[in-house]
Structure 1
Amino acid sequence: MKNTKLKKSRRRTIQISRRISILLFAVVMTIGTITGLLFFIRPSQSMLEKRTLTTFPSFTLSTFLDGSYFSDISLWYADTFPGRDRLMSVNNSIASMNGIHPKTQVLSTAKADEIGQKQEKEEETKKEPAKIPDTFALQEEIQGQITAGLLVQNGAAYGGYYFNQAACDQYVNAVNRAASELDGTTNVYSILVPNNSAVMLDKETQEKLGGSDQKQAIEYYYSLYKKAKGINMIDDLIKNNDKPLYFKTDHHWSADGAYYAYKNFAKEKGFKARSLSDYESKVFSPFYGSYLNEIAQGQLEADSLTVYVPKSTNDMMVYDAEGGIPTKEQLNEPGTPANIITLDDSLYDENNHYLRFINGDTGFKVIDNPKINDGSSVLVIKESYGNSFVPFLVDHYDKVYIADFRYCDMQIVTWCKENNITDLILMNNIQLIANEGVAQWYDELLV
């Protein structure tokens, strides 16, 4: 009798537990569904990943018929889910508690082409030109390139590099074409920036990453230029790698690293570079960067970020024109005022200090130096590696123009001619330019 009552009691307890579990599951699913439908609180920017999130797709008959419209909606829905950054942070925190983390880890590997070796092509086969990926797809490809072959060692993450002959050929051809078109009117400079692994790691450790020799690759690119000038600072970076030239938690280099690009550019141009001690500086700490999207925070040491304020001015104008490039008429009107270096502590949190350089990536920026009126000008076409480099140029030009190639649709050569640009600087991270989509994009822009 007692056993029967005990069994009934246990059965009732199990049934109640199941009902509670089902109810909790239903509540969670309902909350998730309702949250997902709250379009007005969906984020447009990811502060954690430091990128613009997928926008809602425009309806066209062709995308509706081929089904891509609905797949784009699915991508938008997943990419802009409310609270995505917080959920990712929680996931990273949970991941950091899994297992035992050795001091050195190689997270992944990738395949590289032999530097300087042409890829085999099928005879009598003509390939259609690659389609330029749209913005969010290209950014996803870029993020994958940046984190391929990550090495985690002693609290820092190091990115690898994988040479791509096809991307190299297309990019070099585009640069050579632009330099030829601008010969006699605008000087063209190419600055290819190595990843932290080529500078901060010894050769033996670099081999753990696999991939390609970055110094050799940069020299190979530069050897193919005809009228463009390559600015090579990798030797200076390696000689000074006891300094914080790169971050432990982020794929960018620091302002201290960018300074050596500035010094070598100044040498090529024939003007005297300022010393770092000449600038007003400020340190922001802690700083946690993009590698925390791939690696649990507990495995990496916090960074500090140092900024150097130009002597001539800390003011600039930002233009958010259609296509990213303002017309001549728009440039004659004031844009949105902003700072070249953002010093206000409250404007960015510990995950976003890199945005203190030229106010981030988006927008066409114009810096007018009040202390120089000789008509000298420079147009910097860059990605985020260029953000910490641009402030060093300010004291040497009448006007500095800045555009991020990912957010502009311009005919660069034509724009330089129409605006009497003295110098054109193309600045890219070496791994990023190994992306065929990026090389194709530059091929379209350098006209």
Structure 2
Amino acid sequence: MKIKIFFILLLACALLFAGCKVETDAPDSPASPVPSAAPTDFVLYRADSFRIGSQAYEKCSFNEDISKKYAALIGKAADALAGETQVYCLVIPTAYGVLLPDDMKELIPDYSDMETNISSIYAALPESVEPVPVWDKLREHSGEFIYFRTDPHWTARGAYLGYEAFCEAKGIAPIPLDAHCAVNFDGFLGTLYFENGCDEKLLPEETIEAFYPVSDGVTLTVTDADDNTTDCPIVADVSELHALAKYRTFSGGNNPFSVVTNPNIKDDSVLILVKESFGNPLPAFLCDHYSTIYIIDYRSWYGNIIDFAREVHADDLLFANNINAVNSGGNVGFIAMKIK
């Protein structure tokens, strides 16, 4: 009888503690990371994307020939601009490499290790190019809101770590994140949500957090595909935009060519940022260090990067592209057309 009473009391205690909620300090970021999921939470959407719990992922496939061509193109630009412009290479990891639980990797068809892939690209760069390693930083902060759940992109907090890594490579002090004023935009749903049947397991909607430059008076002028020029805020109010369009808060979205000017920096310093959409959150941080930043989206801009760097007397040239982009023959082909 005593044993029976003991087990009843033990069960009651277990049920009591199971219902308790442990209070912790609220995170600084607007959303909490997704915990590791059980294998039964794995859903393969299609060949290049899948879901674990409420986190969607886009696969990364490594193509050694294409990635070596990318490294060679950056090296070509650096050699041509030697003594004039310092060239940097930031290969941006995705959530697939940084957040994917180790015990899930065996479930991924043709899994390719992203850290190894990125390291091989950096190893292929000539000494004239300064690599910007960000992998370790992202892994150290993997429990924070550094990637979206419904979209392949990193968040502004993830991009800040990329900015921090660039500052370290350049030998300058990064401005602390908490020195920036932040703004949040609710209701974001990314391409991994809409392209995979609007899977309700990816809900609720996410919050996009953006950070303003520390400097006052920073301006952004964008030139669109029709060669129309418009002045835009570097952090735009996207409250009324469609859920998928809210990523445009960063640097006016994807445009062939943009110019960021900081009137507080008087040394005529110039940075050229060559990027795809992963680079869009970076200028809000980088602009506190340069008089002018020229932003080139190589997918839609037509010109010669080497000639342009000489024309504007660029101090620095930063290639900031995600790992999938630099393994894409199409994207690397676009870059090849701009480095001659």
Is this a same-fold pair by TM over 0.5? yes
Tell me the secondary structure at the aligned position of residue 320 of structure 2: strand
Counterpart Cα distance in 2 of 1:103 and 1:441:
38
1:304 aligns with 2:192: no
Post-superposition shift, 1:443?
A: 1.5
TM (norm. structure 2) is 0.83
Percent identity, aligned pairs only?
27
1:195 aligns with 2:99: no
Partner of 1:340: 234
1:263-302 matches, cutoff 5 A: 263-297=164-198, 298-301=200-203, 302=205
> Does the aligned pair in 2 maintain the 1:315–1:339 contact within 8 Å?
yes
Counterpart Cα distance in 2 of 1:153 and 1:350:
22
> Does the aligned pair in 1 maintain the 2:238–2:246 contact within 8 Å?
no
Structure 2 counterpart of 1:221, one-letter code: I
Post-superposition shift, 1:270?
A: 1.4
Structure with bigger strand share is: 2
> Does the aligned pair in 2 maintain the 1:170–1:440 contact within 8 Å?
no
Number of residue-to-residue matches in the alignment:
296
Partner of 2:131: 230
Structure 1 residues 431 and 344 mapped into 2: Cα distance closer, same or farther (>3 Å)? closer
Counterpart Cα distance in 1 of 2:89 and 2:160:
16
> Does the aligned pair in 1 maintain the 2:145–2:157 contact within 8 Å?
yes
Counterpart Cα distance in 2 of 1:176 and 1:377:
20
Structure with bigger helix share is: 1
Structure 1 residues 225 and 258 mapped into 2: Cα distance closer, same or farther (>3 Å)? same
Partner of 2:111: 211
Select 2:120's aligned residue among 220, 226, 229: 220
Which structure has the larger Rg over C-alpha atoms?
Answer: 1
1:348-367 matches, cutoff 5 A: 348-367=241-260
1:317 aligns with 2:221: yes
1:5-16 matches, cutoff 5 A: none
Structure 1 residues 410 and 184 mapped into 2: Cα distance closer, same or farther (>3 Å)? same
Select 1:413's aligned residue among 289, 306, 315: 306
Counterpart Cα distance in 2 of 1:310 and 1:287:
22
Partner of 1:378: 271
Select 1:172's aligned residue among 71, 74, 78: 71
Per-residue deviation, residues 162-220 of structure 1 (Å, max 9, x unmatched): 11122112212211111100111001111111110211122222332233111111111
Tell me the secondary structure at the aligned position of residue 206 of structure 1: helix
Counterpart Cα distance in 2 of 1:194 and 1:206:
16
1:440 aligns with 2:339: no
> Does the aligned pair in 2 maintain the 1:314–1:341 contact within 8 Å?
no
Structure 1 counterpart of 2:254, one-letter code: D
Structure 1 residues 223 and 295 mapped into 2: Cα distance closer, same or farther (>3 Å)? same
Structure 1 counterpart of 2:214, one-letter code: K
CA RMSD of aligned residues (A): 1.7
